[in-house]
Amino acid sequence: MIMFSFKKIKQVVLDFLTFVFIGSFIGIAMSLVSNAFVIGVSYISNQRKLFELFQFNFFSRDYSLSPLIFLLIAAFIVILIKKIFNLTRYQGPADSILVAHRTNSEPDIKTGIGSTFAAFISACGGASVGQYGPLVHFGATVGSFMRRITKKLLTTEIFLGCGVAGAISAGFNAPLTGLVFAHEAIIRNFSQKAIAPIAISSITASAFTQYMFGDRNILQLSEVSPNLIEILPFVLITGPFFGIIAILFMSSLRRSASFASNSSLSPNQLIILASLICGSVGIFLPEILGLGTDTVSNMFLDRYDLYFLLILVVLKILMTAICIGFGLFGGVFSPALFIGASGGAAAAKIFTVFGFTVTGSALTVCGLAAVGAAIIGAPISTVLIVLEMTNSYEFAVIALVSVVTCKLVSNILYGHSFFDRQLLDRGIDISLGRTHLKLGSLNIMKFMQSTGYLSMDKSSKVSEVMREMVKKNVTEVYLTNDQKEFIGKVLIGNLTKTSSSNAIDEIEKKPLLIYSSSSVLDAIKIASDFVGESIPIIDSTNNRLQGVITESDLLKAYLSIQKETQKIETE
């Protein structure tokens, strides 16, 4: 017979109420924020299109300077936001991933809010950027804020996951996608304790969105589901093609950012330059401006010819790279969907030229899903978006085939995702896991021994040192000067064989050193070939001996961090 103690029942009830409260609260909060962001961008963008300022005629066609004017206005507002929030660097999904993997860090709330405002203004002004990346990080920021005010009731990754799931669920009106995306793209593991509150947050965000704002769907398909056996060969052929497009897009984003950082222009000048370039192109090709939702819908309706679709692919890649790289902040997921849809629609046109009959919207969906999955590194979530938004099993299956073939190419030639590559550019390899990252973020001073070792003046005699070694029961001594600066290390084996009376004459030529600024991971690498009693820790600023670390200390540090990681990933 199974016996339940009152204490266990009480704990189950408390956990249940905590999960429901935290998940529901964050879900509702993210529903309000996400919909305010999405609806606000949509409304302002629609109002912007009504203005036809400073019209002119060029090659018998009428154009307006409105795209350029509105983007310049947005640029100056973004510059003001950066000043108000003191933003030196925007934060996005890559930072959310890092926080979820480094349990001793939290996202900066002020920077997160400022980055979201900057993305909102950029999108409203017509910059070629997305909305979901900033919302994902804002969701992580809201989760972190909730963790602080609830006095760390749950772990960091649970709060982050709730915020991220709520943001995606409300943005796409796709609760399953929100749940899976938080685990697949941000947290990168499925723990039993995290699933419940994250699922509640995702479902609450979707339900509240439908109740308050109605049912929105960005994938409105009028065609019947494709015949799988007929479309499969074309999907397999185009998958690698979508992988190349995704790589070109990600490479362009990084090259643009690199060019901006190495240029002689100030950050404010770069933002204005981006608005000038994107606004000027937008005068003649307004389809590349903003989120491009209407343009994607027209692709599904087969309203563009092949040459126009190819132009859209190229210019959307370039304009998004310039906007984001130069400082008109925004997400990359919406542009990725746009670029993928354009590539898919173009591929369908190319097959038609060669006499093949291909369902146009099928390859458009495949391109959209494949490029999107390659950019964000979340193939399952992207397929779920297609499933939840088309309600079509067949569309989800062909999207899955396209995603896996695209990811095969992009993973080998580029990496897991654009966000992972952003972190790699900062010297952070997420693929190594939480234990490795935690070891790299913890300072060695936390595990240093400040006593229990022998330190003597550099002028000490061999007889004095030998006597103190016997008292301390050690086999090595650290010599310092009057200012406690490290001079060297002497081993007992050398002292017993020396003919000199001065201990400093037997100093080790190249002793292993660990500087106080080093991480535990750095120390483990240094000590990997070490044989001896201890390694000195030296102040990196004044060369003074701070203490020592032993192999045993490093092993204990590693095991404690590994245990902490296992608890996060398995409970």
Q: Are residues 234 and 183 in the same domain?
A: no
pLDDT for position 217: 64
**106 belongs to a structural domain:** yes
pLDDT for position 64: 86
The alpha carbon of residue 279 and the mean position of all alpha carbons in its chain are separated, in whole angstroms, by: 28
Residue 332 has pLDDT above 90, yes or no: yes
Whether 129 contacts 123, CB under 8 Å:
yes
548 three-class SS: strand
**386 belongs to a structural domain:** yes
- Across the range 290-307, mean pLDDT stands at 88
Q: Are residues 204 and 294 in the same domain?
A: no
Q: What is the mean pLDDT of the chain?
A: 88
Q: Which residue in the block uniquely carries the two structure tokens 């769907």?
A: 217
pLDDT for position 252: 96
pLDDT for position 4: 58
pLDDT for position 105: 67
- Across the range 55-75, mean pLDDT stands at 85
**The whole model's pTM is what?**
0.86
Domain count of the fold of the chain: 3
- CA angle, corner 252, sides to 127 and 126, nearest 5? 5
Count of beta carbons in the 10 Å neighbourhood of residue 317: 24
Q: Are residues 241 and 384 in the same domain?
A: yes
Lowest mean pLDDT among 1-5, 188-192, 476-480: 1-5
pLDDT for position 496: 84
d(CA 180, CA 156): 18
Q: Are residues 421 and 445 in the same domain?
A: no
Residue 166 has pLDDT above 80, yes or no: yes
Residue 386 parent element (H or E): helix 379-390
pLDDT for position 343: 96
216 band by pLDDT with thresholds 50, 70 and 90: low
Domain that holds residue 483: 438-563
Which has the closest alpha carbon to 396: 226, 162, 555? 226
- Across the range 107-118, mean pLDDT stands at 89
497 band by pLDDT with thresholds 50, 70 and 90: confident
Q: Are residues 99 and 187 in the same domain?
A: yes
Q: Are residues 114 and 249 in the same domain?
A: no
- Across the range 23-46, mean pLDDT stands at 91
pLDDT for position 1: 46
Q: First-to-last CA distance in the chain? A: 25
225 band by pLDDT with thresholds 50, 70 and 90: confident
Whether 347 contacts 283, CB under 8 Å:
no
Q: Are residues 314 and 400 in the same domain?
A: yes
Q: How many residues does the chain have?
A: 571
